[in-house]
Structure 1
Amino acid sequence: MTGLTESVLRDVTLRDGLQLTGKVLPVERKVEIVRGLLALGVPALEIGSMARPDLVPPMANTMELIAALTAEELQRCWVWVATPRHVEKAAAAGVRNFQYCFSASDAHNKANIGRSTEDSVAAMPDAVRLAHEAGGEIQLCLATSFTCPFDGPVDPERVLAIANDPRTDGAADIVLADTLGQAHPAQVTALVTAVAQRTPRRRIVFHGHDTWGMGVANTLAALAAGADMVDGSLGGLGGCPFAPGASGNTSTEDILFATRPPWFTPSTLATLVTLTETLLTELREPNRSRTAEGTRSEADAFEWVARA
């Protein structure tokens, strides 16, 4: 079982975080954010998507961002892909960490990617092969692992069947995404435990949203059940444009304040909150992080307070 401070946080601001904003950040600004987060000690980042730019405009300059980063920086960065061709193009640009995503529910997969879940599973062996030929790693990322905006609750056995399908072999990780933020801690505990006990050994990643206020609670439940990595975004920014009812991701600041990894200090938090506030002001988006709000409080005796 993974300890809370031993887990890896992946910040997904530059992919899942930006999807609903409708604004394309300049490449130079994205590079600043990547380097700022890496310098603070954030272990992993999701920096973009190979999705069609006409469908997800904020991802339009992902290839330019990849080109602007060093090979060492890209070793800590993940890129969203949905087809073998995506993997091929991203690998040629220098990507080595691929998040191969599709939905556990057919209805959402068709809305999000334009094909059935079965079609995505059938294409995965080619995606795995291409990732490995590039010397990289690939994740099996399952959106709507808990609920679907069109079909409702997702049977956990469906998630387990995909995880046990031989065509998903070769994935280093499995990402369980609460795409709508409708899961509760007992559900998260049950699914993470089942995946750990009943599917091939992979690192387990939990991707949560805070739509119903359960983001941090679900993240902690996932870690307690054995998750190795958890996702968050600055200020709780984000959501899926193809999932009605989805809102922001679980806040990176809130996850870090709850888990307290060794590299995370009051000064780190103060710098992180300033970075978040600047970005969200640029995007004209609200700051949903309760931790960020707390740092601006009047409680001067508390070491984590850092008023602007």
Structure 2
Amino acid sequence: MATLAQEKMELEQLSEMMLLSKKTKHEQKLVVEGDSWFDYPLTKDIIDHLRKMGYAIKRHSKHGDTLENMVFGSEYSIRKNVAINNGDRGLQEVLTSVRIYNPRFVLFSAGGNDVVGSEFEQYLNHKNSGLKLFKETNYNQNLLVMKNAIEQFLIRIWEVDPGIDILMDGYDYAKPNGTTYLGISGPWVLPGFAKKNILNRETEQEPIIKKLVDGFNGILKELDAAYERFHHIDLRGVFPDDNMWDNEIHLKSQGYKKVADIYHRKMEQIAGFNPVV
């Protein structure tokens, strides 16, 4: 019986073969960039499920990656006391795949690590300070930065092929319950609240998470309205229960399958083609 790792590898190899096959239809071809929702180790993620449906996918996504790094490049090295930025290598790789494989769609998942990663605490005031718990002005400023980065990603893709439709979801509301990924990484949300003495989940934590996720989905809606070939996938409220989540910010495999189905239905609607059939 094949292990999950073997199955994921076989799906990837099949995708590579399909991308190069003349029998594969244009509407089946996807190039994807993103974070752990498109690259979740030891669990079938959204991309794994789309591959099983029949999509031929070139994956560039990497768990833990940030929006800023995907678009502009934030990785660096230091040589002889001189800092060197490695540039937008990730974006260049995506653009190269778009040129080589001529996909019908590009799927993009980014921004989560920019909000609930190391940046999370900057949006919170300590409860004992007497100030508002959520630094709304700070977050709104960062939303403008993220919106600019997403817009730059879209423009660069369309410079290569203006006929590509780009789909992007804005996640669902994270669960501040302290769960981790196999005890290896996380939790990502609850410690930030704890440091700021924001301890009541229902009255304090969840309203802040709602503002974070709603704000991010808000900029995606604005881009959806501004660009005909950009499509916002709204997942808010789709996974309300903690038992649907693997940890604070990642879904279980059946949750990712549900998201894959939502992406599939949207692509079928846009292109009028169903690779599952």
TM-score bin, normalised by smaller chain? 0.3 to 0.5
Superposition TM-score, scaled by structure 1 size: 0.36
Which structure has the larger Rg over C-alpha atoms?
A: 2
